[in-house]
């Protein structure tokens, strides 16, 4: 499986509009972060986890010419608002499959009512094949996807495990029974917002403690704000098996 980090930034991205923070002014491409998302590819099958406001730009930057599905972690704007930009894929391929918690599907139908309209649907709107998912594993093009329940403050969010790869974002706490689902994961992606504690996200210390609990061979930090610091400086301080992800980083698993 190939993993491409389409975006590794927090909800405002880096740089933040109008900010004079040193990280926002950095010339290092690794300090410029679009909103968080990954592309997973196997057997000529392509699926993204989340499609935020930078989705179009991310598809163009990585020359993605096909999209078979979208897995949604939760309904916050920086994870869903690019949904309308699946239209070029729909016009070429037909219906696009989406997979999400019923609560998230409800939010998508409210936000994108014209997409889900049945009667008198606008001709330019894409068609979506809706798949409600729960705690139970489900099959996706020959692979088993295991949803991982994490808490984003008081909001339930899905992480996903596929084979020995797991992707978790917007986590603040992870119940013990969900940690069990991550046993044997070799490559773990997890959020690390900043140095100081945050009410709904892992900070760096919490992310590293979580990684130590799971004990993957390699871990990558994502959903990063400018307050975590400069990419190169943070990378130097991390444990040997932990890396700071950056936009367009590619992994072959």
CA pair distance 163, 161, nearest whole angstrom: 6
The answer to whether the CB of 68 falls within 8 A of the CB of 107 is no
pLDDT per residue over 175-197, tens digit each? 999 999 999 999 999 999 999 99
Q: How many residues make up the chain in this entry? A: 253
* Whether pLDDT at 207 is above 90: yes
pTM higher than 0.95 = yes
For the chain, percent of residues with pLDDT exceeding 90: 97
Smallest Cα–Cα separation from 170: which of 201, 196, 141, 195?
201
CA pair distance 182, 96, nearest whole angstrom: 28
Radius of gyration from C-alpha coordinates of the chain: 18
Sheet architecture: strand order including 2-7? 128-132, 96-100, 69-71, 45-49, 37-42, 2-7, 250-252
For the chain, percent of residues with pLDDT exceeding 70: 100
CATH number reported for the structural domain that contains residue 36 in this entry: 3.60.15.10
Number of domains in the chain: 1
pLDDT per residue over 57-107, tens digit each? 999 999 999 999 999 999 999 999 999 999 999 999 999 999 999 999 999
Alpha helix (H) ranges present in 81-141? 87-93, 102-111, 113-116
Confidence of residue 209 (pLDDT cuts 50, 70, 90): very high
pLDDT of residue 121: 86
* Burial call 78-107: b when 16+ CB within 10 Å, e when fewer: bbbbbbbbbeebbeeeeebbbbbbeebbeb
pLDDT of residue 133: 98
State which residues form the domain around 34: 2-252
Torsion of CA 42, 44, 49, 53, to 10 degrees: 150
* Whether pLDDT at 123 is above 90: no
């Amino acid at each position: 499986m190939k993993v491409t980090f389409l975006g590794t930034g927090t909800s405002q991205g880096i740089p933040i509009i109008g900010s004079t923070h040193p990280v926002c002014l950095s010339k290092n491409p690794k300090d410029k972060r679009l909103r968080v998302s990954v592309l997973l590819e196997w057997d000529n099958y392509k699926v993204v986890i989340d499609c935020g406001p930078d989705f179009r730009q991310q598809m163009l930057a990585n020359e993605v010419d096909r999209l078979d599905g979208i897995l949604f972690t939760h309904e916050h704007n920086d994870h869903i608002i690019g949904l309308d930009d699946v239209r070029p894929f729909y016009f070429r391929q037909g219906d696009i499959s989406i997979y999400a918690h019923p609560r998230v599907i409800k939010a998508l139908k409210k936000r994108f009512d014209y997409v889900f309209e049945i009667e008198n649907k606008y001709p330019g709107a894409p068609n979506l094949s809706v798949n409600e998912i729960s705690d139970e594993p489900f099959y996706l093009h020959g692979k088993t996807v295991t949803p991982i329940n994490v808490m984003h403050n008081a909001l339930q969010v899905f992480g996903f495990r596929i084979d020995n790869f797991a992707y978790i974002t917007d986590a603040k706490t992870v119940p013990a029974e969900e940690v069990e689902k991550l046993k044997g994961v070799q490559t773990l992606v997890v959020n690390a917002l900043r140095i100081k504690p945050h009410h709904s996200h892992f900070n760096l210390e919490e992310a590293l403690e979580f990684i130590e609990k799971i004990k993957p061979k390699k871990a990558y930090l994502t959903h990063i704000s400018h307050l975590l610091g400069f990419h190169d400086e943070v990378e130097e301080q991390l444990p040997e098996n932990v890396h700071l992800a950056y936009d367009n980083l590619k992994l072959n698993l």
